[in-house]
Structure 1
Amino acid sequence: MEAVAAFRGVDPLELEPLAERIDADALNALFSPVGDGTIDGGSVTFRYGGARVTVTSRGDIDVVEAERAGRRE
């Protein structure tokens, strides 16, 4: 939420609650350590606040304009 607010130049409270767009518990479960303590690689991409947001298993967050994202989503 903060990354999109910074990208948009708005207060985070101006955006809809992130929980209405994505299940944070499910996102955390996707990137939780497996039995041996390692974290599998991967990413998840979703639209939020007029942007395309990609979160990786390393914790990286990439925010771009939704229009630049194309029609792949």
Structure 2
Amino acid sequence: MPEEYLYYFKKTRKQRSALFIRMGVAALGYIAALYWVEYYTDFTVPEDFHTIAVIAFSLASLILFYIAW
């Protein structure tokens, strides 16, 4: 018995890559938020965490942009 679908939708390559682009921009937004917190508040972020967070989010965004490309 063949399966019958009520609705079938196939995403295009452009639609799939838009997800990775949004995730990469969000990772860059986290870096911007980290710098914003350090600049505008009295809260000090430990240097080790700051370095690890910036490197990790930068690498993640580069990988996501490469996947989208």
**TM (normalized to structure 1)?**
0.27
Higher percent of residues as helix: 2
**TM (normalized to structure 2)?**
0.28
- Which one has a bigger Cα radius of gyration? 2
Higher percent of residues as strand: 1
